[in-house]
Amino acid sequence: MELMENLSEKSNQPFASRYEPKLAEKKWYQYWLEHKFFTPDLSSKKPRYCIVIPPPNITGVLHMGHALNSTLQDIIIRFKKLQGYETLWLPGTDHASIATHNQIEKRLAQQGKTRFDIGREAFLKLAWEWKEKHEQIILDQLKSIGVACDWSRTRFTMDAQLSKAVREAFVRYYEKGLIYKDYYIVNWCPRCHTAISDLEVKYKETPSKLWFIKYPLNADGKSYIVVATTRPETMLGDSAVAVNPLDERYQDLIGKTAILPLVGRELPIIAEDVVDMKFGTGAVKVTPAHDPVDFEIGKKHNLAFIKVIDEDAKITTNAPEKYQGLTTQQAREAVVKDLQNQGLLEKIEDYTHRVGTCVRCETTVEPMVSLQWFLKTQGLAKPAIEKVIDKTIKFYPERWTKVYLDWMANLKDWCISRQLWWGHRIPAFYCDGCQEIIVSREDINECVKCHSKNIRQDEDVLDTWFSSALWPFSTLGWPDETEDLKQFYPTNLLSTDPDIIFLWVARMIMSGLEFMNAVPFYQVYIHSTVLAETGERMSRSKGIGVDPVVLIEKYGADGLRFTLAYLETESQSYRFWEKKVELGRNFANKIWNAARLIAGLNQQNKIENSTTADQSGLIIDNWLLIKYNQTIEVVTNALDRFAFSVAAQHLYTFFWHELCDWYLEICKIRQKNNDLSFQPILNEVFQGCLVLLHPFMPFLTEELWHRFNYLPESIMQAQWPQPIAINYQPSAITNFETMRELIVGIRNVRAEMRIDINKKVPCLINTSNRELLNFLLNPDIQMLIYELAKVSEIKTTQTRPAQSSVIVLKDLEAYVPLTGLIDFNKEYQRIVNEIEDIDQELRRINHLLTDNNFLSKAKPQVIERERERREKLQDKLNRLKLALETLK
């Protein structure tokens, strides 16, 4: 394709018959940036509207989730700007502590190294290099979608200002006594070598075994208590056996002791009501150091916490020597074998249970006692719950409100420390002199208490989500009192996907209320999850799904955007594949070509003193304007409640099937008849459509806006359309609708009877509705029917002529006489042939359905299908026979 086009020129370009997204996209994005349309004017009097982007990880490249979410946010921000708000969409990226670690460690692994081989400093250097490189990639990909982000305010969670915010927040929490350090059972990922939060653990159904182990009750080895476990290796760390206090089987054992096999430790048998009598034997081994439930039991009963698994998931020196250093898997095998040899394994049952795995690397996590930093959340949760209950913050779709509230009601303290290097290092300092812990806004070299120089900072960093939780205000300048903060906080909308409601949304609400004393946003939109064609989650590593960057390349950003919005309903998910983008691409092309036609219709200047003295033109125009007004209302209302699909579908239908299919077709005819009175209306509606479409298809609409030299200079400066005041005549509109149905009916007859495309047909109408009759006999209306349905003349009649097809409408019957139009003999023969074909098929089916062999062997559904088919064919046969009668 050769389009010799100068990209820097805005007008006088060839108006090719196909919309070429590539020619528009770069050009207009550049143009918007140059004109600073994405940067708010802080001195304007307009109301403010602000969105902060959910910062993509610097590890990632754009995926469909980003494409969807960015599209939706961009639709809203552009919609609000057109509605007259001073808008800010603030972009940025997240350092993604653990995810980035994984990426860099993967690279190191290729060189046979771990992060511990190169040390903290070198590792951080690599991480910053990674950031420099990958941040730009993802931001550029976002730009290719067309996002109206203010890039002058781009933030990164580890920027100096944001790091200052993190530190401020930590210190304030600490000073309020909300941050503490304690031993707790955490999920430990042996691969990432850090604690991870409950939310970062995914459970997988795994077929396994349930081992029933005999714990001898005394040294003679004669009597036992049998416990069932899915993790026999952890028995090395057992410090009790627990039974339900109501369990009659074990009443006499409570308070006694059992002997731990292989180890020889004496274990108290305790009563504990969390023990389920119905599970296993009703007796459970208690391993406080390696199981969350057992941990609680251990604390309650003051049991020993015996750590037998270390940070690398290997058996520690707390276990008998022969197991030390084994992996958990090896230890399991060894323990089971030894128990078997000693006759202490009662039985093994198959059992499927859920194994916790690291959400990042899929390694099996080990519950493990360790010393971590925690944030007390109860006090923080209370106002965060209230603000949602009192609807200061609203979730869309509304059902997510309950999900949020249920979670918040059962909130546990948040483990905020991670044994990682990339991230915000915990601002706690340990003094080796006086053993004090000093938490400080500034780095310190000397103990404030004892002035010892022997101080060292905590090695850990904060959970990535700690900084994310501050994002809505840290990006606007907090803790400083900035103008941005004053003008744009609270922000208006947060749009995100369902899986980070707890990880992120809840925590932003809590910290927003804590530090800003105001909610971080008023509306939370939770969008659908984009699934692959198979219904599975898209996954690059599994090769399932599509790449939005490729789709933009092939179909254009506008086409992709429109399609995504068109599919975005309140569903929890939708399936998506490449073919679907054709919908948007084709629509973009349709708009483009409609524009070409309109440009042509405009070229001829309006003739003075239009010949349309009657109202026919007005009615058609009225019809269009009514539909247009409805469209404005529906789209505005839909976008206000984030019903993206409703808005997109309505625009699609109005533009394509009403404006193009009918109004433009009629305009062509009017133009031929020197009636150019449609021009101002067409122009106004088309211009309005461009604005309505702009949030969905920014590039195409900007391109056309310039080609039509509309004002103001950019469509981004335009105003959202308002319904046009019209002289509404309901009866005229129904008459017009009847006319449309009549035209469709005549076309239908033509197609059914295979009337030559160039042959005109007469049409006889029969109606008692005088007004309708007058309308249809109006010369201008007749002209439309002549042209659009290829009709030669319209006459009235009271009776149906022989050999004619009939069209039945609400207030009207119309007849199309077929004499002379079709070759009756030929048509007769065609129908006869068709009847013969059907007869033959019917015979086949009848034969089949009387064949006992078939009836006994075929699937019932197949037989049923054949029966249904027979019925349908019979129907068709009858109809054809009737048609044959008409032709006689």
Nearer to RNA, 426 or 749 (CB): 749
- Cβ atoms of 831 and 887 closer than 8 Å: yes
**Minimal distance in Å, beta carbon 622 to RNA?**
18
Nearer to RNA, 229 or 492 (CB): 229
How many angstroms separate the CA atoms of 390 and 398, rounded?
13
How many angstroms separate the CA atoms of 663 and 628, rounded?
11
SS3 track for 506-531:
HHHHHHHHHHHCCCCEEEEEECCEEE
**Minimal distance in Å, beta carbon 563 to RNA?**
9
Residue with the two structure tokens 């559904």: 861
The candidate with the shortest Cα–Cα distance to 502, out of 400, 424, 422, is: 400
Is residue 314 helix, strand or coil?
A: strand
- Cβ atoms of 230 and 288 closer than 8 Å: no
**Minimal distance in Å, beta carbon 265 to RNA?**
17
How many angstroms separate the CA atoms of 794 and 786, rounded?
8
**Minimal distance in Å, beta carbon 689 to RNA?**
13
- Cβ atoms of 474 and 503 closer than 8 Å: no
Nearer to RNA, 38 or 655 (CB): 655
Nearer to RNA, 403 or 848 (CB): 403
Please say whether the dihedral angle defined by the alpha carbons of residues 637, 639, 643 and 648, taken in this order, is positive or negative. positive
**Minimal distance in Å, beta carbon 688 to RNA?**
17
How many angstroms separate the CA atoms of 215 and 258, rounded?
6
Going by C-beta distance under 8 Å and a sequence separation of 6 or more, which residues neighbour residue 338? 262
Supply the DSSP string of 23-38, one letter for each residue.
Answer: HHHHHHHHHHHHTTTT
Provide φ and ψ at 238, rounded to 5°.
-65, 145
- DSSP conformation class of 94: B
Nearer to RNA, 420 or 648 (CB): 648
Give the burial string for 566-603 (b: 16+ CB within 10 Å, else e). Answer: bbbebeeebebeeebbebbbbbbbbbbbbbbebeebee
Nearer to RNA, 657 or 867 (CB): 657
- Cβ atoms of 155 and 475 closer than 8 Å: yes
How many angstroms separate the CA atoms of 575 and 580, rounded?
10
**Minimal distance in Å, beta carbon 664 to RNA?**
5
**Residue 842 φ/ψ region, left for φ over 0, alpha for ψ in the -120 to 50 degree band, beta for the rest:** alpha
**Minimal distance in Å, beta carbon 351 to RNA?**
7
**Minimal distance in Å, beta carbon 647 to RNA?**
10
Nearer to RNA, 96 or 643 (CB): 643
How many angstroms separate the CA atoms of 100 and 421, rounded?
10
**Minimal distance in Å, beta carbon 562 to RNA?**
12
Longest dimension (CA), the chain: 118
**Minimal distance in Å, beta carbon 588 to RNA?**
7
Nearer to RNA, 181 or 596 (CB): 596
- Cβ atoms of 797 and 817 closer than 8 Å: no
How many angstroms separate the CA atoms of 484 and 474, rounded?
11
**Residue 542: Cβ-neighbour burial (10 angstroms; 0-12, 13-18, 19+):** exposed
**Minimal distance in Å, beta carbon 749 to RNA?**
9
Beta-bridged to residue 427, according to DSSP, are none
Nearer to RNA, 167 or 585 (CB): 585
**Minimal distance in Å, beta carbon 746 to RNA?**
9
**Minimal distance in Å, beta carbon 716 to RNA?**
25
The candidate with the shortest Cα–Cα distance to 345, out of 188, 187, 210, 439, is: 210
**CA distance between the termini of the chain:** 56
**Minimal distance in Å, beta carbon 752 to RNA?**
6
Nearer to RNA, 187 or 475 (CB): 187
Nearer to RNA, 45 or 278 (CB): 278
Identity of residue 197: S
Nearer to RNA, 198 or 836 (CB): 198
**Minimal distance in Å, beta carbon 461 to RNA?**
23
Is residue 825 helix, strand or coil?
A: helix
How many angstroms separate the CA atoms of 695 and 692, rounded?
7
Nearer to RNA, 494 or 638 (CB): 638
**Minimal distance in Å, beta carbon 868 to RNA?**
8
Nearer to RNA, 407 or 854 (CB): 407
Tokens of 31: 């143009």
Nearer to RNA, 23 or 660 (CB): 660
How many angstroms separate the CA atoms of 369 and 355, rounded?
18
How many angstroms separate the CA atoms of 709 and 703, rounded?
10
Nearer to RNA, 69 or 645 (CB): 645
**Residue 864: Cβ-neighbour burial (10 angstroms; 0-12, 13-18, 19+):** exposed
Identity of residue 139: L
